[in-house]
Structure 1
Amino acid sequence: MWTDRVRLLDDASVASWLPPRVSGAMGTVTGVVPAGYPAYTRVLHPVDAETDRAPAARWSEVARVTGRRVHPLVQWHRLIGSAEPWNPESPLWPEGRPNQGSLATPPLLALCRVLVEHTRTPEDCTFALWEGFGHLHGGMRMLLTAQHPSRAPRRIPRLGRRRARWTSGVPVPGALDDTELRAPRLELPGRDYLLFAGPLDAIEDFVRYESDPFPGEQSPNLFWPADRSWCVGTEIDFDSTLVAGDADLIAAVLASRELEAWPVLPGDSLRYDADTVNG
């Protein structure tokens, strides 16, 4: 696995408390994180720029450009004035979009610095990853390169406006072998997850996977401590992360200057049509 401090679990019973409580409708807050907590918050994923030189932006910065509003149920395509929720593009904002299904490492670590102060068991956490991620299984990948006039093609993480081309397929080994891929799953509606255990402070190593020539990062889709004082969820189709916990924890997340977070209610919808403010 990615780190010797995190191990794959061969018993899914540690997650047996979740299915009865992740009972909300698909696309709602408690369709991602468990019901029964006193408070909830939504952490908006930073907006990745289209070029390597531009820093990540907050949704509030985008709103100042597009003339729209950020609010608890804001949807990205509405914020940028696009009628297309699945592949939104808009002349109002041509500079990138938030990641879907993964919270970038800097805000993830900022969140964990808050979370660690609100659990008695930071050394005993469970991390769940959706079983369908390609880096778990390996296979053939196409190599995306950019052609620069003055030098040979090179791999780049974001292409911007540079000319791109695909090269031949490259074999990529999986992060887990066949035996590990048969490990028991946490089964939730529409999603099954592999389970891992380790301390909260190992999460930075856990999210990074080395799969040359395609190293990358993937935050857990769910994670919680043994005392269940909170639970964090990142649905693979969402561009935000949900946190369930007590009122003090949620207040601390909302107060963090490193996070762009909004309070939400258990039954709130985060579906594509939930944003009725930005028409």
Structure 2
Amino acid sequence: MAQTREWTYDGTELAWLQERLGRPGAGPGHVVSELVPSGFEAYLRIFHRFEAADGSGRTRTWQTWAEAAGIEFHPELSHFSLPGRHGAGGELVWTTEEGALDGRSRGALARRLAGVTGDQGICFAYDMAALCWGEEEPLVRHASLAGLESVREEVADRVGSAGPEFWWPQDRGWVVTTDYDLRSTYVGCSNETAEQILDDDELEALPVTPLTRVDWYADRRPPTAHRLRGETQVVMVATGSRP
């Protein structure tokens, strides 16, 4: 059953961001420019760390996994291309968070950005998560970077454990996007900030471009059917400033 809801960004704090999102032309899949606004010097992909499904606390990076499998570690690498995610009986062996940067990486990124931003206020916003959880408009909170985890805890009963989907400082010097459906986070920032993030041993990141594909099938054949959430397909009809 398809459920259609109207969603507008006019008059919300996401309006400026949505005006700078979109792709320049038709093509397969989805690309960075649909997630991170235009106008930044550099764009990065931060890979969500894999964790063992057995609760042991073991972790695994995308790069070490790809290298062990003889696969190129590249900006459009899909988790579908990494062999051995499931055991012989089909059980999940390694998992990575969808729609949320893992805590270890999230903390490292916040610390790096704090060094760039100082004590500026940060806008934390939930878009698709808010829509899917029944909110009437994007959910926005303001705090410092040090308050990121407090914001997540505060809104968990309204949007779950995902996100924040977008966060940016008052001067809009960078934007972090963790899409509700993806297993990587994308950042738009200055070249200097990008270098600091790439140099952080706690973060697994690669440079990307606005046209780098971000969907699950980026380095595979396109899917034959769209993935639905349960039995209800939520269709967003955006009005106002979104492309």
TM-score range, shorter chain: 0.7 to 0.9
Provide, for residues 170-223 of structure 1, a one-character-per-residue CA deviation record: whole Å limited to 9, x for no partner: xxxxxxxxxxx44xx3xxxxxxx32221222100212235979xxx74330001
Which 5+ residue runs of structure 2 have no aligned equivalent?
Answer: 1-9, 221-243
Q: Which structure has the greater CA radius of gyration?
A: 1
Q: Tell me if 1:66 matches 2:69.
A: yes
> Relative to 1, partners in 2 of residues 1:69 and 1:208: Cα closer, same or farther, differing over 3 Å?
farther
- Structure-1 separation of matches of 2:195 and 2:208: 12
- Equivalent residues of 1:105, 1:204 under 8 A apart: no
How many residue pairs get matched?
A: 205
- Structure-1 separation of matches of 2:163 and 2:155: 14
Normalising by structure 1, what TM-score? 0.65
1:102 counterpart residue number: 100
The farther-off stretch of 58-67 and 255-264 is 58-67
- Structure-2 separation of matches of 1:255 and 1:275: 26
- Structure-2 separation of matches of 1:61 and 1:225: 33
Which 5+ residue runs of structure 1 have no aligned equivalent?
Answer: 1-10, 82-87, 138-180, 186-192
1:203 counterpart residue number: 148
- Structure-1 separation of matches of 2:156 and 2:112: 30
How far did 1:259 drift? Answer: 0.5
- Structure-1 separation of matches of 2:127 and 2:60: 27
Pairing partner for 2:124 from 123, 127, 147? 127
Q: Tell me if 1:21 matches 2:20.
A: yes
> What's the RMSD between the two structures over aligned residues?
3.0
Matches within 5 A, 1:71-86: 71-80=74-83
How far did 1:135 drift? Answer: 10
Pairing partner for 2:43 from 40, 44, 56? 40
* Paired amino acid for 1:24: R
How far did 1:226 drift? Answer: 0.7
> Relative to 1, partners in 2 of residues 1:136 and 1:126: Cα closer, same or farther, differing over 3 Å?
same
> Relative to 1, partners in 2 of residues 1:128 and 1:63: Cα closer, same or farther, differing over 3 Å?
same
Provide, for residues 24-77 of structure 1, a one-character-per-residue CA deviation record: whole Å limited to 9, x for no partner: 276211100101100010000001211111422111232244232211111110
- Equivalent residues of 1:102, 1:220 under 8 A apart: yes
Task: Looking at secondary structure, tell me which structure has more strand per residue.
Answer: 1
* Secondary structure in 1 matching 2:101: coil
* Secondary structure in 1 matching 2:60: coil
> Relative to 1, partners in 2 of residues 1:36 and 1:97: Cα closer, same or farther, differing over 3 Å?
same
> Relative to 1, partners in 2 of residues 1:62 and 1:201: Cα closer, same or farther, differing over 3 Å?
same
* Secondary structure in 1 matching 2:113: helix
Provide, for residues 120-169 of structure 1, a one-character-per-residue CA deviation record: whole Å limited to 9, x for no partner: 5x4311111135459966xxxxxxxxxxxxxxxxxxxxxxxxxxxxxxxx
